[in-house]
Amino acid sequence: MDRRIRSIVSKASRLIESTLLTDYGVPREEALRLEEELFIWFDRLSRRPGVPDSTKALRSHLISMTCKVGHVYWCGRPEVPADERVKRALALGPEIIAIELEKRIDATGEPQKE
């Protein structure tokens, strides 16, 4: 992983973990596994030709994919999550949750949960 990608991952790590655990209610062990897979995917994405070069655009891709992963986690499950926050995230969809996270980052200047 190059230095710029490591920096993006490092700064977004807490947000990604929190999003998977809190917004999507993914169990901790599964969230950690998914986070590792996200970082591998992100490293590969960053090396593709034609991918935006800006840090903000790359971070947006990572946040968007995190929300998609959290959403897909529940798609194949027979049980319905009991947590209202998870129900909200699933009802709104990954695109809306990603937009909310981006707005939170832009407002605070930090990729962290409130």
What are the pLDDT digits (tens) for 28-43? 999 999 999 999 999 9
Domain count along the chain: 1
Q: Which of 1-5, 66-70, 99-103 bottoms out in mean pLDDT, i.e. has the lowest?
A: 1-5
Q: How confident is the model at residue 3 (pLDDT cuts 50, 70, 90)?
A: confident
Name the residue range of residue 66's domain. 3-108
Q: Fill in the amino acid letter for 43.
A: D
- Does 44 reside within a domain? yes
If you search the block for the tokens 């959290």, which residue do you land on?
70
- 61 belongs to a structural domain: yes
- The pTM (predicted TM-score) of the whole model is 0.88
- Going by C-alpha positions, the residue among 75, 70, 41 that lies closest to residue 58 is 41
Is residue 114 one of the residues assigned to a domain?
no
Q: Is residue 35 within 8 Å of 16, Cβ to Cβ?
A: yes
- Please report whether residue 113 resides in a domain: no
Q: pLDDT digit string (tens) for 87-113?
A: 999 999 999 999 999 998 888 765 544
